[in-house]
Amino acid sequence: TSSDSSSDSYDSLSDGDSNHIRRPKKKKKRVLRTGVFGKEIGCIDDDVVYHGLGICRAALGEHDHATRFHLTALRCARRIHGVNSIRAAEILNDTATSYWYMKEYER
């Protein structure tokens, strides 16, 4: 096999066989789409994805699943934007709302 120059951006995992698993290295942002000449058109933070999933689950009334997504989004937002950021506060508010619907007031 020939190795290309893009192999530096991937981690290679081997299970002992000739099968190799390639996965992208972790980044803070993921490219949604690449346009002409490789220019990034849209990027999105992980906290946005998890928060959106939490909002969808809450809208379906599945607040136990929503809180899991909200808490994951909160961890990402605190890591990316900071502990006292507006983004973290928005996610924390949605988390508290889901806990309220579940009647878990102590959390």
Structural domain containing residue 74: 45-101
CA dihedral 91, 45, 69, 56 (to 10 degrees): 80
Residue 68 lies in a domain: yes
Residue 80 lies in a domain: yes
Residue 7 lies in a domain: no
Residue 14 lies in a domain: no
Residue 22 lies in a domain: no
Dump pLDDT digits (tens) for 19-73: 555 555 555 555 555 555 555 545 567 889 999 999 999 999 999 999 999 999 9
- Paired with 42 in beta bridges are 33
Q: How many domains does the chain have?
A: 1
Judge contact between 74 and 99, C-beta under 8 A.
no
Q: What is the pTM of this model?
A: 0.59
Dump pLDDT digits (tens) for 3-24: 444 444 545 555 555 555 555 5
Q: Mean of the pLDDT values across residues 75-104?
A: 93
Of 93 and 32, the structure prediction assigns the larger pLDDT to 93
Residue 59 lies in a domain: yes
